[in-house]
A and B are shown apart, each in its own frame.
Chain A
């Protein structure tokens, strides 16, 4: 071992140096180029805008597994285009950013590859028109995000977080797969565009509830709804661009996309409304409270993401047009400001070496552009006019009040969550930039161009769309709302709605938010103290679950894997006897033989010979006697073959029997003699089991031979053997002509067995010891 590691260590070090040298030599040039791909996709997708704005859709389909109804089909409608544009557009910004953020990192190329793979999977997911295609891309996003979260694989925390996200969203993915298959079978098609038209039929179907529950498990795990929310903050172990991309703008929104996509099919029932509203409301409020508690800027933002996901879920539970419009608008708002803020925090981290709120103040002097972008994004987040966030928030209140079933619950949750959002926006994006001298590990400096251009553009978009909401209202929001509701809708966005209840709620929100901001230090202390006393969080519950699984695995391994050959065999034979025997009894295949045939003396003699040989083998203490008994059995079997018209088989059997005796006899020369085994008390139990297995086999074979017999294949061989294969020995013709490929495989096995045996012996002769 020692010599091994001594040899390998310098090698790995050299490799590491080599790769890092390559990495820095490559610089960020490839990443620059990589940003061109999403940029081109963004431009390409935007060509679809006019078509989609008119209410039309674009569909592209290729057959993939036609026999299973799986096709590689894509659908561009308002909903998928909105998501696709966000994914490609923000992807451009992120790739541009990460090239600078991770400049000189030895695995920058790999990182870019992961990021691009993720982006393509995500695009496939939102554009897929086939349930199975959708699921495949869904799983691909899970896998690529696993790679991205665990990118810093030297850190145990990153590995744990990545595995947690993978297991949790993967488990949800399995539930989703079951749900999608049920849905496809219920609707009679796996094409989404066809299923959407079947909404009423699906809702009336008896499988509706299982479908809904399974799909919701998939969506809720992916979109981090309480109680599955804990994986998302943990996933912040990823590099900041990943957090900005996956955990704000795209991946976690996959669940939201699924809910929106399934809205025309599954929504409108009590089960849908209540589960989405309740889970969404609880998630939104709980996450905003947790966000307030964090001192790490990134973690605080992560919890606000959970809050946003909860809000979106809550509004997608509704049927009202304005509620859905609120969801779509908030989706766009959130993606823009959240990606910008994550990138800003990345800049702060990069420039100062810390993300702790306590150490950060007065940064605006050192990084003015970043500060402006942060301020713009934060104002949009807090919902101040004239930012798009304001429109989103007004719509939310309007939508909440329009919800027929529980307007108070939704409105209350929305107000509370938004007020907390105002406070968090202040803590995260304003407080670090103003005030006295920073107490950071490094002296802060402005980020390079490529690192501030992204957040600046995203924040500017939030402002532009706020001032001129018609830019997105007709082209994106209205088609998306129509797609979610499954009917043409008209949506108008405006900054000023006049003095009404939503505006009053807004004012109340600001007041409450400022109040919370003013007292947030005290609230945080209280929350922290409370958090200490909580008996169980999702995260610790997760650990206990994993520990439980491990313990269970250990128990069952100890139980089943004894490492003793006899016990394995015993288990196998007992299972065989019980399962086959039981199925014989249950299916009624067990019938007494119809008639005992008339046998001649020669038959009885041969049968008696074989039975005697078998019995003698079992009781023989002498090796030679056992081998002889085996030979008797073999010869007896050969005689049976002769009697029943199988000369080829009989000859082969006799020859092989000869060889077996030769080989066993040769090997015996060096093997010790057999000792009686019957002294063991278990032998009686073994004998009982052996008899049971024998009886089951006999009964099965009886049932088989009593059943009607289909001789058509043999008849075919008999009739074609001479005319087509020019051979009169039908057995040989089958071997070398009709089933020549099988025979080839079989002789290959024989050759491999011989060579393996040769290697086993010769390997030992050369001094190899296992």
Chain B
């Protein structure tokens, strides 16, 4: 099915604005259900403050039709008491997005089953809507104490385990509340959002070039993917055409980031998750080699600055040859490590049947990336909505069926191989020419989907007539994947939770922009 046939079979209104189809807010849930029923699930929602244009607020729901593109539904809400009927009643994937818009804009989803706060903590006063245009980015808030009740399980022998937000290891802050009976997890709820930086607010009024350093720091381990998603959205909005060399280089940088983080995750799952120290020692050694290579190629260990609006960091021929040599050595070493890992019964026994995510749950929650593919959902933005130069490289999408930790490990191991192939193919096809085009931001709005190593990033950027960002809605894959723990956790035993956690390796910072 194509976008046009979807539009006609849904009888969508013809009126579009900023690429979105305008529907009355009362009919939004009906249209959303129809989209989902026609094979275009909800993937992203964002709000906007349109009061300057005299039309109150707007809520946007993005539906993805793999292979064709996106349909965005837009409903305008009154400036006083903005509200619309909740989509979460029928579409689970809307759950956090609607709570997010409630905190950011005060847009109320009527009938939402869980209307608690999401990003605001107890100390944020009621009625604080930071993404409204009349909220100053440097406003000082009085200290409040708004209750945030967490789920509880009552019963004989039920024990509550609060973990975090400060942990024993050097990791990001996040609070988890387990209700257990013995060692068996009955329910698991996370309370995250301890790392708020206000990125979406801070980039407003900045030019794309000024905003870039903020985008690079959304999640420390995926700067390439985030800058690429942002750059693609800005380029589409401003009609900037990117030279082919830069598009190929973007593939190279993205895949290097994916290779590094898959190496890290495989080492971390095998090594720290189960205590098989060999995996951690070897995995982290290779990660370090990759990071040193990044530093020598792009000037930054985590590849900041590798992608810029209109271009990408260029590579000399010698640098590319050196990169290929390092990658060949790492590929050979990792093959040996994987052979040992798959041959170690104790390790596979820990991985298999641990943290199972069913395909139905992955689809219902709108899981992205590795979490979805390991549960048999065939999705990958590189193939489904090609960007950079992926349309010329024919990405083989890796899926596994079991949905357990072992499946997520195997997806990484196989994607690692595929990424190596893509880097080699991209370098072989690297054309001569410039790697940077002048990037002049013009008025417009566009959506971009980029497959980071974690999963799909959705960025929607609207640029005003002055060439400055009016609104940037950024969605890290972690945002859709954190709620999966409510599905993955229960039924496992407490000592296996860190392994489940490592198998998803979600970003706390990326979730809380």
Binding between chains A and B: no
